[in-house]
Chain A
Amino acid sequence: MKTPYALGRSLVAGLMAAGMLAAPALAEYPEQPIDVIVAFNPGGGTDVAARTIEPFIEKYLGADLVILNKPGAGGEVGFSLLAASEPDGYTLGFINLPAMFAYSYTRETAYSPESFAPVANLVYDPGIFAVRSDSQFETLGDLIEFGKANPGALPIGTSGSVGSSEHLAIQQVQAETESKFNHVPFGATAPLRTALLGGHIPVAAFNLSEATDYADEGDIRILGVMSAERAASAPDVPTFREQGVEVISGSSRGLAFPAGTPDEIVAVIAGAVAKAMEDPEYIAKAESAGAPLAYLDPAAYGEFLTNTSTALDKAWEIDPWVK
């Protein structure tokens, strides 16, 4: 139910959308603290990322952010809450791509890509294939040759479950190169990485930021990174694309409003986020926490969101991961 107050506010916002008078009215937004839904437990990766950037956004926005943890169903509970909340600019939320849309293939979700008004992308962490330093595989090519010669014999562990970005990346590699691997979902990065270091699994697919320290120490070798360009944190590691495998994949973390939030409000928050992400203090903090920053403005993030969703549709059509 809309209170007269909220009605008035959206009326003002609507008027602003029509004219050039945006500046004076925008000075009024935000006029109260903004709730930020984090769909994971306190202390989890997304929560830590949210709480790290929170003071910096507040600094440039001039308003308080209130983080609300709404965990459940791998984030689905929180994402659904965000999608269903009032589009008045006072409920913001963290969303995780592609994980949040992958759920909708195996169960009914109360949201779709159209349920959100994307604000900004914060972090993009590309996927990798990694082996232990003493492995027989020197390049991605070696691995793929093995996968062609011995279809299905080589297990590749992933940090996710079925339908995770890593699982889909393996499927894409298989489709591109006509090789076949044996997907082993570990469900989390830490046990997978330990199994890789301990020699219990020959190849592992997980996110770059969680591998660079171990690669720098010489414990593991990264065969390739699934980004369009080489990553700044691992300039010596070739991309999949460079090695002739057209796979681009990774997991990302960004901010979104529920769909229907006025563009002006989205722009205000996106502007504050952009400034926060240029703050040297924040950059230093994110760097030491190993979060690869990648700001996308609302338009670019929207495009990214749509592309991610189409790529998922395609992957599901080719080889549905739940029968």
Chain B
Amino acid sequence: MLDLFLPILHALPVVLEWPNILGMVVGVLTGMIVGSLPGLTATLAIAVLIPLTFSLQPLVALGLMAGIYNGAMYGGAIPAILLNIPGTPPSIVTTFDGYPMAQEGRAGYALKIACWSSAIGGAFSAVSLMLFAPPLVKVTLLFGPAEYFWVAIFGMSTIAILLGKDPVKGIIAGCIGLILGSVGSDVMTGHQRLTWDQKYLIDGINLLIILTGLYAIPPAIRMIEKGVVRGYQLSDFKSRPEDSLSRNFWSFVPTWLRSSAIGIWVGILPATGGSMAAFIAYNETKRVSKEPESFGKGNPLGIAAAECGNNADNAAAMIPALVLGVPGSGVSAVILAGLLVHGLQPGPQLFRDTPDIVFGFMWQMLLTSLLLFTLGGNVATRVFAQVMRLPQPVLAPMILCLTFVGIYALSSSMFNVWLMFGLGIFGYLLNRLHFPLAPIVLGLILGDMAEHNLRLTLLINQGDWWSLLHNPLSMLLAGLSLLIMSLPLIGMLRRKLAGTAETPAAH
């Protein structure tokens, strides 16, 4: 037992040196700024940062990255709550309840919940990374192509819960996501799909372009259209007496525990990422709630679930990344590259050869999560949120400019900027026609994953479809997906039965 903890404790004093602390604080602040600007993400910020960290000590560089990673995940919640524009992909889920709360004049409370939930989710995740990284990686190894296929199906089945009032529109939106996700060169056969001879489409459309187009541009257009000159008022950021987090603390605890567990679970499965963690955590919280219909209308638990889930994904996604060299998300992929630059090759030997740096980085993941409590709470509401007080017609062009810069920086290509703009107009039309956008994102992220893994499974097993259910884990995942998909149906049947039972009684 001591063997396990000694290297962890040994790394702590180094982490607490001044340059490292400074690195973490700067990282968290940078992360929050980047995360709160639509179109700019942690992935981009860290990628830009990597060359600048050459001359730094490895731990200072890693502290910066850890800070950006955790800071950005929370930063994404700020515009999600205030403007209904997710700053980062996972904060889409935060908009569901965050924006309605802000509309009710409870923006300050919503931001505070997001901050606390992010910090708590991140901290749980970092502790799990520290204590269980080597054993948890065994879980990753249990997942082969068949299991990943079911994970993707499980994720997509949550669309069923998101559908809401108009299931047909939701399903159409999901299909749009699947179509957008299938653009690009087919890895299995080399054929081009929906690329229209356009070189920039051969690698597929970058997720960020679609998200920025669909989520940042339509609200900006709506802002100009409505022309509301009044922005947020100072009073919107002051909590009402009944909205005290310390008084309601215990009501959040079950949600935080559940969402952290879900975020960690999703995190250790490579290729899933924070968006899925937030979606699943949100759905589970809604499912166990006594008043599921209050979700999407400003339920504080919705924000807690989403933010806690996506931050709990962070450190956990580093588990397969550090131990197996398999990044669990786009951000962890660039952090891996950052490690490589400093001569740290991920893999089983990393923990043995450079324990101080590996465990130091884990401490940094924990400490930067905790920094969110202080920096997130104060800086977010006192500084960033003030920007959002600008009248909306002023804010809209600023948002548009930022999205252009962000997307151009992605690949220095104008094609992608125009593509984003086109998708933005498309998103605006969908928005006006009351299509939900969340199923597009799920279809997009998970469709590709489901397809690739289905084909891998079938190829490995020479076309035997039963190979999808060859072991208990895949059967379990398949069962869960079926259950989730049938829940709304069962609910509908029950209401119908109850209805027919009442009718004769009325006679």
Q: A184 an interface residue at 8 Å Cβ cutoff? A: yes
Q: How far is the CA of A98 from the CA of B50 in the complex (A)?
A: 28
- Centre residue among B48, B189, B344 by max chain A CB count within 10 A: B189
Q: Which of B142, B187, B270, B412 contacts A68 (CB 8 A)?
A: B412
Q: How far is the CB of B333 from chain A (nearest CB, A)?
A: 7
Question: Quick check: is B459 within 8 A (CB to CB) of the other chain?
Answer: yes
Residues B456 and A184 in contact, CB atoms below 8 Å apart:
yes
B189 close to A43 (CB less than 8 A):
no
In the complex, the answer to whether B199 meets A76 with C-beta atoms within 8 Å is yes
Do A198 and B337 contact each other (CB < 8 Å), given the known contacts A155-B460, A190-B325?
Answer: no
Q: Give the CA-CA distance A177 to B143 in the complex, in Å.
A: 34
Task: Kindly state the separation between the CA atoms of A322 and B326 in the bound complex, as whole angstroms.
Answer: 29
User: Are B192 and A51 in contact, CB atoms less than 8 angstroms apart?
Assistant: no
Judged by a CB distance under 8 angstroms, whether B188 is at the interface is: yes
Residues of chain B with a CB closer than 8 A to A199's CB: 141, 144
B202 sits at the interface (CB 8 A): yes
Contact B341 A51 (CB under 8 A): yes
B50 engages A42 (CB within 8 Å): yes
- A135 at interface by CB-CB < 8 Å: no
Given contacts A51-B54, A213-B349, whether A194 and B141 have CB atoms under 8 Å apart is yes
Q: Smallest CB–CB gap between A225 and chain B, Å?
A: 19
Binding-face segment, A19-27, A260-268, A284-292 = A284-292
B191: contacting residue among A51, A67, A322, CB under 8 A: A322
Is B263 an interface residue when CB atoms closer than 8 A count as contact?
no
Q: Is B193 among interface residues, defined by CB-CB distance under 8 A?
A: no
Question: A198 near B142 (CB under 8 angstroms)?
Answer: yes
**Is A187 positioned at the interface, with any CB of B under 8 Å from its CB?**
yes
A interface, over-half SS:
mixed
Interface string of B42-83 (1 = CB under 8 A from A): 010011101100100000000000000000000000000000
CA distance A72 to B419 in the complex (A): 14
Which of A28-36, A87-95, A123-131, A214-222 forms part of the interface with chain B?
A: A214-222
**Do B337 and A44 touch across chains, with their CB atoms under 8 A apart?**
yes
Q: How many residues of A contact B (CB 8 A)?
A: 57
Q: Which residues of B contact A289 (CB under 8 A)?
A: 340-341, 343, 345
Q: How far is the CB of B338 from chain A (nearest CB, A)?
A: 8
Determine whether A306 belongs to the interface, using a CB cutoff of 8 Å to chain B: no
List chain A residues, Cβ under 8 A from B146: 200
B305-333 at interface with A (beta carbon < 8 Å): 320, 324-327, 333
Decide: A43 near B334, CB < 8 A? Known: A184-B460, A185-B187, A201-B460. yes
Per-residue interface assignment for chain B, residues 139 to 173, with 1 indicating a CB less than 8 Å from any chain A CB and 0 otherwise:
01111111000000000000000000000000000
30 contacts between A and B (CB under 8 A): A42-B47, A42-B50, A43-B337, A48-B340, A55-B54, A67-B51, A71-B203, A71-B411, A72-B200, A72-B203, A74-B185, A74-B203, A106-B190, A107-B202, A152-B462, A161-B187, A184-B456, A185-B188, A190-B326, A191-B270, A193-B326, A194-B326, A198-B144, A200-B144, A201-B460, A213-B347, A213-B348, A213-B349, A217-B347, A289-B341
Interface residues of A (CB under 8 A from B): 41-44, 47-48, 51-52, 55, 67-74, 76-77, 80, 106-107, 152-153, 155, 157, 161-163, 182, 184-187, 190-191, 193-195, 197-201, 210, 213-214, 216-217, 219, 284-285, 288-290, 321-322
